[in-house]
Amino acid sequence: MKFSLRTLARLLALFILSTGLSWWWFSGADMGWTKTYVTIPATDDVTGIQYEVKKEKFVPGVDFLALGTGLSFVIFATSLLFSTKNPKIQQP
């Protein structure tokens, strides 16, 4: 099965859009900016001071979603420049 460049580009755009959306959604659909760490509340037993422990974790935010969506639209738009037909192989 052969795909035209236009189809390939559109499949790539769909893949990027669905991956970005799924990643963002299943990471908690955070409406803030992308985070590279999260904080976990803790309490010091002796002083009673409440503090936050940093834990490295990538949490995609709306900027990540926008980037994925934008990129997929650019690839989709670019696909319109390609021909719908497969390039014919010239016989000698």
Task: Candidates 7-15, 31-39, 69-77, 80-88: pick the segment binding another protein (CB under 8 A).
Answer: 31-39
Task: Candidates 10-18, 48-56, 67-75, 78-86: pick the segment binding another protein (CB under 8 A).
Answer: 48-56
Identity of the amino acid at 22: S
Whole-number Å distance between alpha carbons of 72 and 18: 9
Least Cα distance to 75 among 15, 25, 1, 2 occurs for 15
Binder among 46, 81, 83, 90 for another protein (CB under 8 A): 46
Spatial contact of 68 and 38, defined as CB atoms under 8 Å apart = no
Binding-site ranges for another protein (CB under 8 A): 32-39, 44-52, 54, 59, 61
